[in-house]
């Protein structure tokens, strides 16, 4: 029997709204995943540190502040530097479609927009994540 998928949910930057992240986290827990929520106002370094320490399979970042094109690529770069390219990287929030496609081109597996059903996010994770151990 394999262990549950481990998902880190993070809020990078100065974004102070986390209701959506908490709803997604609860939904993923309901689907049997282990969820680590880092809380508000995390730096890319703090998010990657937590992901490495917790041996996660997935990182889901929620961002509403408009700083996604600065902060999200930093998270991706730090993961690559640490050899954590196997971690499924997803994001959600208020991100224009053209910038979402650019983030996907830069290594995010999927960028989910407002109103995405939490079941769709869980399905995507279950079909695309690889367990690290």
Task: Give me 17's structure tokens.
Answer: 């709204």
Residue 2: the pLDDT is: 85
Helices (H) and strands (E) in the chain, counts: 5, 5
Q: What is the DSSP letter of 22?
A: H
Print pLDDT tens along the chain (133 aa): 689 999 999 999 998 999 999 999 999 999 999 999 999 999 999 999 999 999 999 999 999 999 999 999 999 999 999 999 999 999 999 999 999 999 999 999 999 999 999 999 999 999 999 886 6
Residue 133: the pLDDT is: 62
Residue 131: the pLDDT is: 80
- Sorted by where each begins, the domain ranges of the chain are 6-126
Residue 1: the pLDDT is: 62
Distance CA 81, CA 87 (A): 13
Whether pTM > 0.85 for this model: the answer is yes
CATH superfamily, region 6-126? Cobalamin-binding domain (3.40.50.280)
Q: In which residue are the tokens 């910038």 written?
A: 99
- 89 strand-pairing partners: 59
Query: 3-class SS at 87?
Result: coil
């Amino acid at each position: 029997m394999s262990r549950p998928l481990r998902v880190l949910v993070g809020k990078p930057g100065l974004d102070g709204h986390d209701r959506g992240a908490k709803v997604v986290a609860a939904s993923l827990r309901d689907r049997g995943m282990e969820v680590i929520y880092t809380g508000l106002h995390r730096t890319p370094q703090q998010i990657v540190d937590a992901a490495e320490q917790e041996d996660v399979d997935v990182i889901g970042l929620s961002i509403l502040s408009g700083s996604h094109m600065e902060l999200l690529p930093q998270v991706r770069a730090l993961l690559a530097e640490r050899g954590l390219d196997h971690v499924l990287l997803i994001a959600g929030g208020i991100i224009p479609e053209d910038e979402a496609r650019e983030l996907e081109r830069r290594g995010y597996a999927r960028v989910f927009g407002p109103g995405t059903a939490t079941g769709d996010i869980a399905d995507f994770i279950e079909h695309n994540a690889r367990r690290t151990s």
